[in-house]
């Protein structure tokens, strides 16, 4: 991992350093646009062709039904079911607490305003299945969709070599009461949910993380269709802030946990001394060889780096510039700097709070903004699956109270029909 000193970095150097997943030659965009066009024009036929091309599997149909999912899920052991159910319960508890009715507000006598939630009717969930199968992502998306009350939930996940899905994905579908999973992955799955095919319904909003191709597809369809997206959630990343109170072995483990997601993941260490950097790298050298995904980890670390700062405040300045998906404060002094966090998707406090806990079972959602989008986006929540509609009601006294102001404002804007809509009521 390359090492930089924060004091030596100018503003432009920091800006360049925190950039990631850029596509300067539009190579990824070109590939994705071609995929989207083929799905849009050829529907199911294109999806079957892409399954053969990208997933190396010849499908005779594009979905698994409830009976097939039950058969596949039977391979899950009792111990594995218990772990998935603990995760389900914790995620459900955290997200159910987000559903709260808002108070009605009387803005002036006789004028009452309020908001009510309504579920998004049709949502699409993309569950990645490339180098790692992620039933945890299915829980993170399916649970808030169910709590919100979405009427139709379309689930797409890439087929495995046997033309099925992983047993854990199948079991989660049963936990969530979802009776069908569509066998489509990558940009083609996003296109299918955005435009609809003979088999897959068009949805109103698409959720789920993915690689750079999936993320590019989501950003393209958001600007070219009526289908919305949760956020740009691409290759995963972590930034760890560590001081002399950290445990280097824990920090190394956290960096490697992130790096094993994929070769395009980033694991950034921001620490307050050379000694910490050296100790963490030494621990990483011990841990990497025993990891089954060691080669992926090594390639991801080549795209990662270390920044050495003089203080925790400087470390936080760099973190806010990077705007990480995951932020770990590996310090006993985390209470001193949490108020300075401006940009982060999800934060893990102290030496006993690994990002893995949030990835799986603490309860918070792990579908988070990446590539500095945490400057403007939040992670997935129940709010992501609902619309909040405003209401207002005006009484006879209310129209008398508010009417004259509305008449004046409409007139100064030159909108006399707006004024008249109030005036005719005032005459009554």
Q: Which residues are catalytic?
A: 325-326
Q: How many CB atoms lie within 10 A of CB 185?
A: 26
**9 neighbors 17 (Cβ within 8 angstroms):** yes
**Cβ-proximal residues to 64 (8 Å cutoff; 6+ apart), any chain:** 72, 164, 165, 170, 180, 181, 183
What is d(CA 363, CA 350) in angstroms, rounded to the nearest whole number? 17
Strand-strand pairing, 105-108 and 346-349: unpaired
CA dihedral 152, 153, 154, 156 (to 10 degrees): 180
**201 neighbors 152 (Cβ within 8 angstroms):** yes
**36 neighbors 310 (Cβ within 8 angstroms):** no
**312 neighbors 333 (Cβ within 8 angstroms):** yes
Q: Which two tokens mark 227?
A: 């289908």
Strand-strand pairing, 63-64 and 181-183: antiparallel
Let me know if 385 is exposed, middle or buried by CB neighbors in 10 A (0-12, 13-18, 19+).
Answer: buried
DSSP tally for the chain: helices H, then strands E: 16, 15
């Amino acid at each position: 991992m390359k090492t930089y000193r924060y004091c030596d970095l100018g503003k432009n150097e920091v800006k360049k350093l925190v950039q990631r997943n850029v596509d300067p030659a539009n190579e990824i965009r070109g590939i994705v646009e071609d995929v989207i066009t083929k799905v849009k024009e050829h529907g199911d036929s294109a999806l079957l062709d892409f399954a053969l091309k990208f997933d190396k599997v010849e499908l005779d149909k594009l979905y698994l039904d409830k009976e097939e999912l039950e058969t596949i899920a039977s391979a899950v052991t009792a111990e594995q079911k218990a772990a998935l159910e603990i995760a389900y319960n914790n995620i459900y508890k955290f997200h159910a607490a987000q559903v709260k009715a808002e108070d009605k507000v009387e803005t002036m006598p006789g004028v009452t305003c309020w908001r009510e939630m309504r579920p998004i009717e049709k949502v699409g969930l993309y569950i990645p299945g490339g180098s790692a199968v992620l039933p945890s992502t299915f829980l993170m998306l399916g649970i808030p969709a169910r709590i919100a009350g979405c009427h139709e939930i379309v689930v797409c996940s890439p087929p495995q070599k046997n033309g099925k899905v992983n047993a854990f994905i199948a079991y989660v579908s049963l936990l969530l009461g979802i009776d069908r999973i569509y066998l489509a992955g990558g940009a083609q799955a996003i296109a299918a949910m955005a435009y609809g095919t003979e088999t897959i319904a068009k949805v109103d909003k698409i959720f789920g993380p993915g690689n750079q191709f999936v993320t590019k597809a989501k950003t393209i369809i958001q600007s070219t269709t009526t289908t919305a997206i949760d956020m740009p959630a691409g290759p995963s990343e972590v930034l760890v802030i560590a001081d002399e109170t950290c445990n280097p072995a824990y920090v190394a483990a956290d960096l490697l946990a992130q790096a094993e997601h994929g070769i395009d993941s980033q694991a950034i260490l921001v620490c307050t001394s050379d000694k910490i950097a050296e100790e963490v790298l030494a621990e990483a050298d011990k841990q990497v060889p025993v990891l089954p995904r060691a080669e992926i980890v090594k390639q991801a670390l080549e795209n990662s780096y270390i920044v050495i700062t003089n203080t925790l405040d400087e470390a936080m300045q760099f973190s806010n510039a990077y705007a990480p998906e995951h932020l770990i404060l590996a310090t006993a002094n985390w209470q001193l700097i949490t108020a300075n966090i401006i940009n982060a998707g999800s934060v893990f406090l102290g030496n006993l709070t690994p990002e893995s806990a949030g990835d799986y079972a603490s309860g918070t959602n792990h579908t988070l903004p990446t590539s500095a989008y945490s400057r403007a986006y939040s992670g997935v929540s129940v709010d992501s699956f609902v619309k909040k509609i405003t209401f207002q009601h005006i009484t006879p006294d209310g129209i008398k109270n508010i009417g004259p102001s509305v008449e004046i404002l409409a007139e100064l804007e030159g909108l006399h029909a707006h004024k008249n809509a109030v005036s005719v009521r005032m005459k009554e």
